[in-house]
Amino acid sequence: MRNNSRESLLKMHRQHVKAWEEKNLDNLRGLYTEEVIVFNTVPPPRFSDFKTFENTLQQYFGQIKEVSILTSNIQIEVQGEVAWVTSQYLMAYHRNGDLLRQNGRWTEIYRQEKNEGDWKLIHFHSSPDPLEQVEGKKRSRR
């Protein structure tokens, strides 16, 4: 049973990444719980429900084009009805005519719903790699 949960969670992680790449709010809405807490994906740095997050995403998605996200070093842990998926990501996208790239870390926390047994995303945090930010500051000082 544990392996089935891990396979389901890996599939959900891939669906989550794909929904971001496609900028598909309907697919994101299907993955998240209404009371999801989201940190640091797009400003402002914290959202305490999906509706507020969705409103900001509509504006953000309108500004970016051709999003590509590659996740690696994916690790999945399951503890009863709670599970988490961690990974590193490389994101590339176009904004205002510029190609931008960002390395970072991505954490998803899921809860298994009692009624259906499906996993739902209850917490999401992505942020740029701290090492990349330090290197960027060093380069800008030169």
CA distance linking residue 106 with residue 113, whole number of Å: 22
- Residue 117 DSSP symbol: -
pLDDT digits (tens, 9 = 90+) for 73-114: 999 999 999 999 999 999 999 988 899 899 999 999 999 988
What's the whole-number average pLDDT of the chain?
Answer: 86
Task: Indicate the number of domains in the chain.
Answer: 1
Residue 20 lies in domain: 2-141
> What is the model's pLDDT at position 132?
64
For the residues 29-41, what does the mean pLDDT come to? Answer: 88
**109 CA to centre of own chain:** 10
CATH of the domain at 71: 3.10.450.50
Structure tokens at 7: 């396979």
